A and B are shown apart, each in its own frame.
Chain A
């Protein structure tokens, strides 16, 4: 018994050490980014490097604010990403459910087609999509940024994989109780997928959040710029304005951190267990 407790203690120690080491490794570059945001550019690149924050944050922010409409850009990015995420989560979980739990013709070829669209490099889609958007008069609009990527293959794939772990018996018993197929989808499948939906939301949000070349080409007025597009304007012909980029990306982390925290409580184990017991 004591042997077992000792082993458990060692195991706990190792687990915590691993988590802590990884956390530190992940935080160092971010910490340094925030330090950089608080320094004037000259102090930022020196050897040995400075390891603690300075007092230049507001000066750097003032320059950033003067040169870009950065606060507006944060709002645009958040708005686009949120609308996109909500719509796409619904769409992807519907399709994912169909692929995981139903049989239909051409199921496999269609799935592999979706997979192939996942491989497409966005860089090459930009020119034809630009052409389309300018033809239908959607240039400089958010819908042009949101709609083409709604049917997100990553999302469909993820939901397909996760929905497969829902026991068929559970769905069958619901059918026996007279539930329609749609009720099964949104009463049973979706709730069982809470943590996966949260992960999916993160994936989709980030996908849209990171898009650069496409919005760069589509968005024309600076009042509509997303964060990456606004940041691209900070690059001078020869020098990069590190200080402002660091301020901007430090600030840009905040919406993502909020997203993680909001989705936090979806990550609790045993949900499926609960629904099975009912």
Chain B
């Protein structure tokens, strides 16, 4: 009895909701398409304005100062009756103009970290996207069975906690670790993974690729599945080979998503932080310190060079944004 009653209740509620919605739709003056567009993106701007605008403005602002220490007292307050907002003076700052930016030019470690990041990126991103695309195509093939199992297994590495997975790699690639054990089984001399610049970078590449390949595969798979089946059917009628179907149907149709994966992976690897931080600690001899790790250390380790770290951030964001935009333009996204 009672179940029926509640389910009636739900139905009544649902009906009321629907009629309310209908009424609302009817009453709302019909909007032009661009008005709809603004409505659709407005939540983004509200949230962005509320939460990210201040940090971003503050970062740019700080980049022109040298941090002298914690301030005290109140810098500013906004009293709007119900809303009271106080900006305490959190820092003693000394204006240095573009000083932080010019000292960057002569900062060897900044260039080193940019180089390291680019080096890792240039190897890692192509390998990962190649593997992810191949896996997505394979798992999208009609004849493959147990797709769900494979998909989950390959995507699972991404769910490993970052500390745990970095620890696992640290131990796997230890001098007496599993990888060297495997090598010794096939008669190869153990490799000092963490102590050679060359191998330490490769270890990072391996770790990042392991974790994120499945993730990119999922995105590509989703992209593959939005390709209308009719296009393949039509190509088959025309007698297209497997390669031709890939080249003339899959690739052009997948392009927007592939572009997304490339841009996302590029930015993601540029932002690489946790893996070098935990696995190699940036070493040996700063060979794997990444730009974000460097920014982090300027801000959080030793004296807080918040001004310099902010300037590094501004430059970093500018550089990577330009690279992403170039990728998008070259990728023919218009």
Asked whether the complex places CB atoms of A and B closer than 8 A, the reply is yes
Does B227 sit within 8 A of A, measured CB to CB? Answer: yes
Whether the pair A124, B229 counts as a contact (CB closer than 8 A) is no
CA distance A228 to B249 in the complex (A): 43
Shortest distance between the CB of A154 and any CB in chain B (Å)? 6
Query: Given the known A-B contacts A125-B55, A270-B225, A276-B228, are A203 and B219 also in contact in the complex, defined by CB atoms under 8 Å?
Result: yes
Whether the pair A158, B219 counts as a contact (CB closer than 8 A) is yes
Query: Given the known A-B contacts A22-B154, A132-B54, A199-B219, are A33 and B36 also in contact in the complex, defined by CB atoms under 8 Å?
Result: no
Of B6-14, B119-127, B197-205, B256-264, the segment with at least 4 beta carbons within 8 Å of chain A is B256-264
In the complex, which residues 241-273 of chain B have their Cβ closer than 8 Å to any Cβ of chain A?
Answer: 242, 253, 256-257, 259-260, 263-264, 267, 270-271, 273
CA distance A162 to B258 in the complex (A): 10
Does A150 sit within 8 A of B, measured CB to CB? Answer: yes
Q: How many of chain B's residues touch chain A, expressed as a range?
A: 35 or more
Does A82 sit within 8 A of B, measured CB to CB? Answer: no
Q: Which residue of B is nearest A25, CB measured?
A: B210
Shortest distance between the CB of B83 and any CB in chain A (Å)? 9
Whether the pair A195, B221 counts as a contact (CB closer than 8 A) is yes
By a CB distance below 8 angstroms, the chain B residues around A103 are 33-34, 37
Chain A facing B: main interface SS: helix
Q: Which residue of A is nearest B207, CB measured?
A: A29
Does A221 sit within 8 A of B, measured CB to CB? Answer: no
Of B93-101, B104-112, B175-183, B279-287, the segment with at least 4 beta carbons within 8 Å of chain A is B175-183
Whether the pair A94, B31 counts as a contact (CB closer than 8 A) is no
Q: Which residue of B is nearest A14, CB measured?
A: B138
Whether the pair B295, A121 counts as a contact (CB closer than 8 A) is yes
Does A65 sit within 8 A of B, measured CB to CB? Answer: no
In the complex, which residues 92-151 of chain A have their Cβ closer than 8 Å to any Cβ of chain B?
Answer: 94-95, 97-99, 102-105, 110, 112, 114-121, 123-125, 127-129, 131-132, 135-136, 147-148, 150-151
Whether the pair A124, B299 counts as a contact (CB closer than 8 A) is yes
Shortest distance between the CB of B191 and any CB in chain A (Å)? 15
Whether the pair B161, A231 counts as a contact (CB closer than 8 A) is yes
Does B320 sit within 8 A of A, measured CB to CB? Answer: yes
In the complex, which residues 273-306 of chain B have their Cβ closer than 8 Å to any Cβ of chain A?
Answer: 273-274, 292, 295-296, 299-300, 306
By a CB distance below 8 angstroms, the chain A residues around B163 are 228, 231-232, 245, 249
Shortest distance between the CB of A274 and any CB in chain B (Å)? 9
CA distance A115 to B267 in the complex (A): 10
Q: Which residue of B is nearest A102, CB measured?
A: B37
Query: Given the known A-B contacts A29-B168, A97-B40, A151-B43, are A256 and B177 also in contact in the complex, defined by CB atoms under 8 Å?
Result: no
Does B235 sit within 8 A of A, measured CB to CB? Answer: no
Q: Most chain-B CB neighbours within 10 Å: which of A15, A132, A161, A249? A: A161
Shortest distance between the CB of B327 and any CB in chain A (Å)? 10
By a CB distance below 8 angstroms, the chain B residues around A12 are 143
Whether the pair B159, A252 counts as a contact (CB closer than 8 A) is yes
Does B41 sit within 8 A of A, measured CB to CB? Answer: yes
Whether the pair B40, A228 counts as a contact (CB closer than 8 A) is no
Does A264 sit within 8 A of B, measured CB to CB? Answer: yes
By a CB distance below 8 angstroms, the chain B residues around A260 are 151-152, 155-156
Whether the pair B260, A158 counts as a contact (CB closer than 8 A) is yes
Q: Most chain-B CB neighbours within 10 Å: which of A32, A98, A115, A180? A: A98
Shortest distance between the CB of B84 and any CB in chain A (Å)? 9
Does B171 sit within 8 A of A, measured CB to CB? Answer: yes
Whether the pair A156, B33 counts as a contact (CB closer than 8 A) is no
Q: How many of chain A's residues touch chain B, expressed as a range?
A: 35 or more
Does A212 sit within 8 A of B, measured CB to CB? Answer: yes
CA distance A138 to B71 in the complex (A): 22
Whether the pair A117, B296 counts as a contact (CB closer than 8 A) is no
Does B118 sit within 8 A of A, measured CB to CB? Answer: no
Does A83 sit within 8 A of B, measured CB to CB? Answer: no
Q: Choose among B44, B161, B228, B300 the residue that contacts A248 (Cβ–Cβ < 8 A).
A: B161
In the complex, which residues 250-278 of chain A have their Cβ closer than 8 Å to any Cβ of chain B?
Answer: 252-253, 256-257, 260-261, 264, 267-273, 276
Whether the pair B51, A147 counts as a contact (CB closer than 8 A) is yes
Does B240 sit within 8 A of A, measured CB to CB? Answer: no
By a CB distance below 8 angstroms, the chain A residues around B193 are none
Q: Choose among A121, A156, A245, A257 the residue that contacts B313 (Cβ–Cβ < 8 A).
A: A121
Whether the pair A245, B167 counts as a contact (CB closer than 8 A) is yes
By a CB distance below 8 angstroms, the chain A residues around B229 are 269-270, 273
Interface 1/0 per residue, A13-57 and B, CB below 8 Å: 001101100110111011011001000000001011100000000
27 A-B residue pairings within 8 Å (CB atoms): A26-B213, A26-B214, A29-B165, A30-B156, A33-B168, A91-B44, A98-B38, A102-B40, A121-B316, A129-B55, A135-B88, A147-B47, A148-B51, A150-B43, A158-B257, A158-B260, A165-B256, A203-B215, A231-B164, A232-B163, A240-B167, A248-B164, A249-B164, A253-B160, A256-B156, A264-B152, A271-B225
Q: What 6 A-B pairs come out closest when comparing CB atoms?
A: A256-B159, A249-B164, A102-B37, A148-B51, A199-B222, A98-B40
Instruction: Point out residues on B near A: beta carbons under 8 Å.
Output: 25, 30-31, 33-34, 36-38, 40-41, 43-45, 47-48, 50-52, 54-56, 58-59, 85-88, 90, 131, 134-135, 138-141, 143-144, 147-148, 150-165, 167-169, 171-172, 174, 176-178, 181, 210, 213-215, 218-219, 221-230, 242, 253, 256-257, 259-260, 263-264, 267, 270-271, 273-274, 292, 295-296, 299-300, 306, 309-310, 313, 316-317, 320-321, 324-325, 328
